[in-house]
């Protein structure tokens, strides 16, 4: 086993590099991803090493970027698009939801859309409006799209390669607050398939479930709860569409309790869907209602208020206490 310790951002860069080395049909498009290497330097040095024909700096026109990628996919390429910030994806929303998501079905499977749309998302970086949002539910709600979100450097390295290798369009949600978080990366073998949920901490009293940046917060809450006598199992969802319910349901049936945490607003969210499904499919194993901890149902606030808006370990522990009190 070959392990390397690297930040999340570098792991993504390494995964993108490996995908480009393995398949000459892979090319990248986005605003400032070439010479600059992207705002977060995820594509750093890729244009230098693979050339301007495979790593393209585009105009500031997200709809045009996605539309061009659709044409390239039809021509046999495997485009990887970077949306510079989460809030910038909405000018491309029409292309993504009415064209990209539907073309394969429209052509009865005869046309594949092997396109990956990378979206840095979420808070905790003190940014301004349109630079800190959690739009994952829009895309998870859209049939024809797959939506995934890694939470560790190892998952970032492997999941980006697996997404690029897929013949389906994939929305690749990158928790930008974790770009600098370091972790071990297994260079030789993936830890789990692209669309698999995974237990990342075992426990016996309550199941904590989440995705993206929130997984780290859940692990922090679980460590605190352990010191207070409550054993928390933590499940990383990883794939938001489709959702792998097996590990989530198995864990919840074991503990009898579940809390879902997310940065996104709670109403009609990924957490809402997963909570409802667990209530339907594991009802008789539950000792308490499934609880949700989320961002508030307001627009994402200015940077000074993001600490109030975003769930932290204390808010998760409060939900744990409420669940354990039933």
CATH number of this structure's domain 3-186: 3.40.50.970
**What is the number of alpha carbons within 13 Å of residue 102 lying toward its C-beta?**
9
Q: How far is CA 7 from CA 151, 152, 278, in A?
A: 12, 9, 34
Largest CA distance in the chain: 60
Q: Tell me, what's the pLDDT at 188?
A: 85
Helix (H, G, I), strand (E, B) or coil at 299: coil
The pLDDT of residue 189: 82
The DSSP output letter for 302 is: P
pTM value > 0.85:
yes
DSSP 68-99: HHHHHHHTT-EEEEE-SSGGGSGGGHHIIIII
Fold equal for 3-186 and 198-324? yes
**Residues lower than pLDDT 70 in the chain:** none
Nearest CA among 147, 158, 209 for reference residue 183: 158
CA 24, CA 21: separation in Å to the nearest integer?
Answer: 7
Q: Is 308 exposed, middle or buried (0-12, 13-18, 19+ CB in 10 A)?
A: exposed
CATH topology of domain 198-324: Rossmann fold (3.40.50)
Query: β-strands 258-265, 291-295: how paired?
Result: parallel
Q: How far apart are CA 183 and CA 175, in angstroms?
A: 15
* pLDDT recorded at residue 222: 98
Per-residue pLDDT at 272: 97
Return the domain boundaries, the chain: 3-186, 198-324
Q: What is the pLDDT of residue 125?
A: 87
Show the tokens assigned to 47.
């244009």
Residues acting as catalytic residues: 131
């Amino acid at each position: 086993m070959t392990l390397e310790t690297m930040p999340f951002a570098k792991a993504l860069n390494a995964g993108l590099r490996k995908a480009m080395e393995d398949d000459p049909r892979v090319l990248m498009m986005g605003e400032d991803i070439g010479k600059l290497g992207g705002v977060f330097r995820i594509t750093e040095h890729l244009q230098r090493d693979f050339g301007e024909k495979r790593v393209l700096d585009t105009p500031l026109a997200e709809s045009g970027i996605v539309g061009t990628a659709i044409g390239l996919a039809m021509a046999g390429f495997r485009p990887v698009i970077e949306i510079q910030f989460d809030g910038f994806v909405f000018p491309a929303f029409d292309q993504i939801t009415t064209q990209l998501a539907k073309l394969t079905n429209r052509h009865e499977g005869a046309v594949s859309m092997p396109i990956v749309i990378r979206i840095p998302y979420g808070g905790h970086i003190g940014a301004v409006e349109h630079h800190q949002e959690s739009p994952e539910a829009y895309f998870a709600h859209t049939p024809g799209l797959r939506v995934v979100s890694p939470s560790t450097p190892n998952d970032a390295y492997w999941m980006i390669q697996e997404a690029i290798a897929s013949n389906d369009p994939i929305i690749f949600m990158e928790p930008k607050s974790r770009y600098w978080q370091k972790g071990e990366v297994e260079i030789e073998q993936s830890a789990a398939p692209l669309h698999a949920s995974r237990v990342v901490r075992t426990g016996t009293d309550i199941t904590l479930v989440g995705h993206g940046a929130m997984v780290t917060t859940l692990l922090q809450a679980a460590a605190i709860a352990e010191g207070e006598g409550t054993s928390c199992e933590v499940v990383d969802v990883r794939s938001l569409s489709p959702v792998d319910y097996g590990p989530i349901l198995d864990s919840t049936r074991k503990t009898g309790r579940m809390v879902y945490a997310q940065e996104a607003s709670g109403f009609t969210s990924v957490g809402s869907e997963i909570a409802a499904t667990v209530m339907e499919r594991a009802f008789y194993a539950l000792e308490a209602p499934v609880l949700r901890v989320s961002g508030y149902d307001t627009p994402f606030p200015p940077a000074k208020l993001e600490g109030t808006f975003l769930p932290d370990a204390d808010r998760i522990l409060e939900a744990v206490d409420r669940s354990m009190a039933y």
